[in-house]
Structure 1
């Protein structure tokens, strides 16, 4: 195999490789690709993909076609698989192959002999999967264009009970199948594609439970996101997939293998895909596979039950391209320049050990990753570059730990160590019992809780006021008394709400309110300058954005792979913006320029030279030299 992960980067033949491709069903056959076999259609489509500047195609192996009865592997279908892979290779395309495809477009195209049994822990089905994987590996032997094998598309939807399995059971299933494939195809990269419940829910199919995999595959359709995304055109929509990418980078190498929008017109789809793709690549995705190549003419299952699934292609039924294709091509051409440069960000967004745990008892406040999402957005809106970190955050200048509902001793040890070594640790609390970090870190002690929120309805820090929605957050206020901490902000009733506590060489800034969690209400995030709290906390750490502007809707990603002084701008707003960029330099030079951005648009911008900088405006070109 020619693909490998080298120092956290996907490479082909030793050279960094950015996946630029599409998910694929042939239009006429749809999901009957292996039974209504038409190699000429595949040859034509693959050549068109390559002509469009794409380098990868994802193909779905419907298990029922390859093994129609238990233990019988249809040799004709396996020969067709190898032909499809070879046709892609002839066109210059790499392949991602989804092995255990059952769930597709909201329907189960199931094995007639599965009879509802679990793919994950039924012994007979586990044996059948391993045998099927071995047979697929034999068919693929010698094919140098297989980028990865995806164990199965959104497996949690095949068997809903799998979402309640112990994480270690799911991890063992992934590892077992991956090892089976690699035993016959040494060096093969293996992944497994999941919807956002693997991050924003408690499902065991997630980046934090993928140790046996090489790539972490992500889906992030805003229509079905378990957080309040107001519309596909909204600020939050095109930030969803980049957030999932940053989250996955805490555990491995992320690949966005499904990306599009549903229920939108062509202009909205094109704009969303342009911004989300650029931001995903800029935040470290190994690449993007757009859903999907062409509208589906087939009326066979699953399209008779969900006919709307037929019309989300980059091409219409007649083969003419939609506007989204041009924007996608342009973005993917610039992908190598969008990759993050070496090194790490100055800010760590810390993941507590139980951030995705949902115990389901009266002691628990539920999954906490919605707060992680909003903390990520606040850091982006403050133009503070961030890594999401699941382990020891020591060495980062600012560590953000948002709206904690359940903290462990390991978490407290890590956060305390980071502060004692010089970090500013910002810690906000959701649950006053199991999320309170203790007086040593917080600099306050718990007095009581209260259900009377009138005196706790906002945080006041000097002239700044931030209203609080306790009901929306689903938690109750607590009454605190300062011990070793300096009170920075108070509730209207005068009790501490925001406390600065020195600790070793650093400090802890403790927020007694679930500041991030209470933002998960439609329209709330962009209705106030919530990010100003993060800017002020960062200032306490002596930390200021490397590149800044006054518009919080524009994401600024500094330090691109193409050069340390190149930045990627992504306008996540649906309307055009004129951005006045400001650079901070060690010698104090005032470097500025203007950039015009359409709605949901992006630009690569090189830092201007000091000479004549005041009058320089960046030309309206997509990728600047």
Structure 2
């Protein structure tokens, strides 16, 4: 690990954000090293979904975490629901903070690290807006809302600061799908929020887990700011939602090499192939695939991404969703585990990938990348990706 840390600092320079993250930790570990592969999942509680924040029962959570750890995962992305945690701009629920503290403790007992989302107003197609915040651009500029955000981050920081198994904050779950703004407004808010998060929890790795749209077209945050303000930019890769399925089948390059291609697209904005990239959410969301086909896609997609130097992988998601809840039909069968904890074919593939690559050095590609797409539109971005793939199939 000491060799990896030194290599990281040498690669990015002593004044870089990566070097500051590693230097700020007394005993740096692989949880903060973007040059070593990591494998984790987005946690979806099997019992009462994320409504469990309001109906807390730690016993099924313990069982979930045991099953996730048995698959070889080393971290979880856990989704806070902003409206549950902060129902008033001047008050954060102590009961919910205690439950978060307990969850991260339970994770630590199983050697699972935590990435904690913050402003999650949209999750799996449902909106969870605090009573004091409408779905509008005021999220990024309204003084009362900004003060509430500052309070929330501060309270979360006090709760989480004692945990060694904390990776850091994710600013939210795909914030741009809930609150939109002009690029300059979104970029300014992101920079402000990263500064606050770094002050509240220094020496951690904080990210902004946007969906795919800002990478493909103008949408709230600019690609240049996303790569400049993050040690390791995050990409959410779904062949169905990105439109990859328009250009080929589920096992064709636009789908199985989507993670690799989006990493190249991100690095084109960074201007270097040495930029670490985190696949923060990925799955097909192609409901026609069998469990065996989904497992095949996972194996091919991750291997292609590793060949292109993608650093960390966080699969969506851990468990299938209980069908007693009303969700988009695509949401019910995305897990590595069934709702009652049985390992699915994709879970077996995930375990093999994690055991094979976890902790191994990331090898970045050396080929020269073309300049970023121009104009920054969905069509031109897809043309860029298809050209990069050399794919002349369905279009």
**TM-score category by the smaller chain?**
0.7 to 0.9
1:374 paired with 2:386, answer yes
1:309 paired with 2:309, answer no
Structure 2 equivalent of residue 71 of structure 1: 90
- Partner of residue 178 from structure 1, selected from 188, 191, 194: 194
- Partner of residue 190 from structure 1, selected from 190, 197, 206: 206
CA shift, 1:338, in A, is 7.0
Can you list the C-alpha shifts for 1:157-207, whole angstroms capped at 9, x where unaligned? 102x43xx12x3222111111111221211121101122212222224354
Structure 2 equivalent of residue 34 of structure 1: 53
Structure 1 equivalent of residue 15 of structure 2: none
Q: Give, in whole Å, the separation in 1 of the partners of 2:359 and 2:87.
A: 46
Please tell me whether the aligned partners of residues 25 and 33 of structure 1 are also in contact (alpha carbons under 8 angstroms): no
1:236 paired with 2:258, answer no
Distance verdict in 2 for CA 1:208–1:261, change over 3 Å? same
Q: Give, in whole Å, the separation in 2 of the partners of 1:305 and 1:317.
A: 15
Please tell me whether the aligned partners of residues 277 and 328 of structure 1 are also in contact (alpha carbons under 8 angstroms): no
Structure 1 equivalent of residue 298 of structure 2: 273
1:257 paired with 2:280, answer yes
Q: Give, in whole Å, the separation in 2 of the partners of 1:254 and 1:60.
A: 21
1:114 paired with 2:126, answer no
1:19 paired with 2:34, answer no
Structure 1 equivalent of residue 102 of structure 2: 83
Q: Give, in whole Å, the separation in 1 of the partners of 2:360 and 2:200.
A: 35
CA shift, 1:18, in A, is 2.2
CA shift, 1:340, in A, is 4.5
1:128 paired with 2:148, answer yes
Distance verdict in 2 for CA 1:55–1:336, change over 3 Å? closer
Q: Give, in whole Å, the separation in 1 of the partners of 2:193 and 2:78.
A: 19
TM-score by length of 2: 0.84
Deviates further, 18-27 or 242-251: 242-251
CA shift, 1:357, in A, is 3.3
SS at match of 1:120: helix
Distance verdict in 2 for CA 1:204–1:338, change over 3 Å? farther
TM-score by length of 1: 0.55
| 1:448-597 correspondence runs (5 A) | 523=394
Please tell me whether the aligned partners of residues 243 and 373 of structure 1 are also in contact (alpha carbons under 8 angstroms): yes
Structure 2 equivalent of residue 45 of structure 1: 64
1:245 paired with 2:263, answer yes
Please tell me whether the aligned partners of residues 356 and 367 of structure 1 are also in contact (alpha carbons under 8 angstroms): no
Structure 2 equivalent of residue 410 of structure 1: none
Please tell me whether the aligned partners of residues 265 and 385 of structure 2 are also in contact (alpha carbons under 8 angstroms): no
Distance verdict in 2 for CA 1:147–1:108, change over 3 Å? same
1:223 paired with 2:240, answer yes
SS at match of 2:172: coil
Distance verdict in 2 for CA 1:258–1:341, change over 3 Å? closer
Q: Give, in whole Å, the separation in 2 of the partners of 1:87 and 1:356.
A: 47
Structure 2 equivalent of residue 474 of structure 1: none
Q: Where in structure 2 are there 5+ consecutive unaligned residues?
A: 13-17
Q: Give, in whole Å, the separation in 1 of the partners of 2:98 and 2:359.
A: 39
Q: Give, in whole Å, the separation in 2 of the partners of 1:286 and 1:295.
A: 26
Q: Give, in whole Å, the separation in 2 of the partners of 1:325 and 1:272.
A: 12
- Partner of residue 174 from structure 2, selected from 149, 154, 160: 154
Please tell me whether the aligned partners of residues 222 and 229 of structure 1 are also in contact (alpha carbons under 8 angstroms): no
SS at match of 1:368: helix
Structure 2 equivalent of residue 321 of structure 1: 343
CA shift, 1:310, in A, is 2.2
CA shift, 1:57, in A, is 0.8
Choose between structure 1 and 2: higher strand proportion: 1
Q: Give, in whole Å, the separation in 1 of the partners of 2:175 and 2:132.
A: 17
Q: Give, in whole Å, the separation in 1 of the partners of 2:148 and 2:222.
A: 24
Q: Give, in whole Å, the separation in 2 of the partners of 1:147 and 1:376.
A: 32
Please tell me whether the aligned partners of residues 202 and 356 of structure 1 are also in contact (alpha carbons under 8 angstroms): no
Please tell me whether the aligned partners of residues 101 and 160 of structure 2 are also in contact (alpha carbons under 8 angstroms): yes
Deviates further, 192-201 or 73-82: 192-201
Which is higher, the Rg of structure 1 or of structure 2? Answer: 1
Q: Give, in whole Å, the separation in 2 of the partners of 1:189 and 1:150.
A: 9
Choose between structure 1 and 2: higher helix proportion: 2
Q: Give, in whole Å, the separation in 2 of the partners of 1:190 and 1:104.
A: 19
Distance verdict in 2 for CA 1:207–1:43, change over 3 Å? farther
Please tell me whether the aligned partners of residues 222 and 240 of structure 1 are also in contact (alpha carbons under 8 angstroms): yes
SS at match of 1:334: helix
SS at match of 2:79: strand
Q: Where in structure 1 are there 5+ consecutive unaligned residues?
A: 359-365, 382-518, 525-625
* Aligned residue-pair number: 365
